[in-house]
Amino acid sequence: MVQYAVLTEPIIIEKTTGCPTVVMKSYADYERLKEFEDAFWATKALAAEKSGYLGDKSLSELMQFETLKDRISD
């Protein structure tokens, strides 16, 4: 059964063309990867917080930035 096989290794599911589309992992692997991802983003958030926030001047300059979408709609 697939549910027992995935406990020992990930299972790659492919389309009929042979292109991999889905990977089935055990719940334990999923939890481990989720914890790793949470720690990664927590580290990124702390680094961003240490670098500071946009001040009023920087924010107003950013808001004045004309985007390509703005140019097209005119």
d(CA 48, CA 28): 30
Residue 7 belongs to domain spanning: 2-73
Count of structural domains, the chain:
1
User: DSSP labels for 8-62?
Assistant: TS-EEEE-TTS-EEEEE--HHHHHHHHHHHHHHHHHHHHHHHHH----HHHHHHH
Tokens representing residue 10 in the block = 């990930």
Q: How confident is the model at residue 5 (pLDDT cuts 50, 70, 90)?
A: confident
Q: In this predicted model, what pLDDT tens digit does every residue of 15-67 receive, in sequence order?
A: 999 999 999 999 999 999 999 999 999 999 999 888 887 677 777 777 777 66
In 3D space, the residue among 4, 22, 26 whose CA is nearest the CA of residue 12 turns out to be 22
Which pLDDT does position 73 carry in this prediction?
63
